[in-house]
């Protein structure tokens, strides 16, 4: 979802609310209870081959929040979400507590648990994107945004309609259930890579673990070799002790056609935030170099 999906994800990650006052929604637009109390993950299309789940309440309480906000602003989302807040009268991230996303034969789907009314959420989408009403939905070509039973569903039209029409799938909800300290989970096939990963955050530790399975052992070995050599070069050039510590914390292991990546740090929230600030700063440099090629 080249235009809408990045916006929805940026909103759910809280970029729009940093430094703004808490949203006060009118009592007339309070969100209804979720259908069957099912999580957003239960409403993803059953044909989804790649899925993810983010607990926004945990995310906003963790050290990840300020670091990711800064990163997303550096990636160009800040100005747009400020405009969204002005257009809608509230910061969009305030209205979402839980979000799941998936990709399959019918395209991408994002399902978010609303903390505001459905009509208010759809009106916001219409104002922010200049979309047109389509029944109980808003069309932002080529995508569709709908709301029902306390959920906002956005994405490719066929995927959205499939999600809206189907009954909740408890099995998918269980598959993407988050343990106590887990903030986010991703699983499935994305192109030629199978991903199984999670991000954990607590007052004493922040960490991530990702398993990447490639089409062959040769491809995995080439990726492993390329990344470890780049990591070694970065270590040689790092001047700050913290940058070297962050780079050393990134551990890679090669097992057949799979590469496992783990990283993280122990410490209080202040230590975690410094670690994540450097880590995402390194990621920003890598992305800029990649995009410049």
User: Is residue 192 included in any domain, yes or no?
Assistant: no
pLDDT given at position 3: 43
Q: Assess whether 210 and 173 both reside in one domain.
A: no
pLDDT given at position 86: 80
Three-class secondary structure of residue 119 per DSSP: helix
Q: Assess whether 173 and 208 both reside in one domain.
A: no
Q: Assess whether 40 and 170 both reside in one domain.
A: yes
Q: If 0-12 CB within 10 Å is exposed, 13-18 middle and 19+ buried, where does residue 174 land? A: exposed
Range ranked top by mean pLDDT from 18-27, 114-123, 276-285? 276-285
Chain mean position to CA 125: 19
pLDDT given at position 189: 93
**Weakest-pLDDT range from 89-93, 107-111, 128-132, 154-158:** 89-93
pLDDT by residue (tens digit) across 223-275? Answer: 999 999 999 999 998 889 999 999 999 999 999 999 999 999 999 999 999 99
**Weakest-pLDDT range from 47-56, 133-142, 231-240, 247-256:** 133-142
- Under 8 Å CB-to-CB from 210, ≥6 apart: which residues? 195, 196, 197, 198, 260, 261, 262
Q: Assess whether 51 and 142 both reside in one domain.
A: yes
Q: Assess whether 64 and 132 both reside in one domain.
A: yes
Question: Which of 145, 178, 211 is where one domain is finished?
Answer: 178
Q: Assess whether 216 and 268 both reside in one domain.
A: yes
pLDDT given at position 130: 80
- Under 8 Å CB-to-CB from 117, ≥6 apart: which residues? 25, 26, 28, 29, 30, 31
User: Is residue 193 included in any domain, yes or no?
Assistant: no
Q: Assess whether 172 and 207 both reside in one domain.
A: no
User: Is residue 187 included in any domain, yes or no?
Assistant: no
User: Is residue 191 included in any domain, yes or no?
Assistant: no
User: Is residue 190 included in any domain, yes or no?
Assistant: no
Please report which helix (H) or strand (E) contains residue 229, including its range. Answer: helix 217-237
Q: Assess whether 136 and 213 both reside in one domain.
A: no
Q: Kindly state the average pLDDT of the residues 90-112.
A: 84
Q: For residue 289, give the CATH number of its domain.
A: 3.30.310
Q: Assess whether 127 and 231 both reside in one domain.
A: no
pLDDT given at position 221: 97
CB 28 within 8 A of CB 117: yes
User: Is residue 194 included in any domain, yes or no?
Assistant: no
Q: Which two tokens stand for residue 15?
A: 């970029």
Residue 178 per-residue DSSP state: P
Q: Assess whether 148 and 211 both reside in one domain.
A: no
Give the number of domains in the chain. 2
Please tell me the pTM assigned to this model: 0.83
Domain that holds residue 60: 1-178
β-strands 132-134, 137-140: how paired? antiparallel
Q: Assess whether 214 and 155 both reside in one domain.
A: no
CB 238 within 8 A of CB 247: yes
Q: Kindly state the average pLDDT of the residues 4-31.
A: 41
Q: Assess whether 275 and 230 both reside in one domain.
A: yes
pLDDT given at position 292: 56
């Amino acid at each position: 979802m080249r235009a809408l999906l990045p916006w929805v994800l940026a909103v759910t990650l809280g970029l729009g609310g940093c430094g703004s006052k808490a949203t006060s929604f009118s009592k007339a637009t309070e969100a209804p209870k979720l259908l069957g109390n099912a999580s957003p993950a239960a409403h993803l299309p059953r044909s989804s081959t790649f899925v993810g789940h983010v607990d926004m309440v945990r995310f906003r309480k963790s050290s990840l929040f300020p670091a990711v906000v800064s990163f997303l602003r550096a990636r160009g989302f800040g100005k747009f979400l400020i405009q969204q807040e002005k257009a809608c009268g509230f910061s969009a991230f305030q209205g979402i507590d839980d979000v799941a996303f998936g990709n399959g034969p019918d395209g991408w789907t994002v399902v978010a648990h609303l903390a505001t009314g459905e009509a208010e959420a759809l009106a916001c989408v219409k104002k922010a994107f200049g979309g047109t009403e389509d029944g109980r939905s808003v069309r932002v070509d080529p995508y569709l945004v709908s709301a029902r039973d306390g959920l906002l569903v956005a994405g490719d039209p066929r995927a959205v309609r499939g999600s809206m029409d189907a009954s909740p799938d408890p099995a998918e909800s269980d598959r993407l259930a988050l343990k106590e300290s887990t903030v986010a989970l991703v699983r499935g096939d994305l192109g030629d890579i199978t991903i199984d990963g999670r991000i954990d955050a607590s007052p004493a530790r922040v960490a991530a673990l990702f398993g990447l399975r490639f089409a062959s052992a040769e491809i995995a070995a080439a990726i492993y070799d390329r990344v470890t050599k780049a990591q070694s070069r970065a270590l040689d050039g790092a001047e700050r002790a913290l940058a070297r510590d962050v780079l050393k914390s990134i551990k890679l292991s090669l097992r057949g056609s799979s590469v496992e990546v783990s990283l993280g740090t122990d410490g209080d929230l202040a230590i975690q935030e410094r670690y994540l600030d450097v880590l995402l700063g390194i990621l920003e440099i890598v992305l800029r170099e990649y995009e410049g090629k």
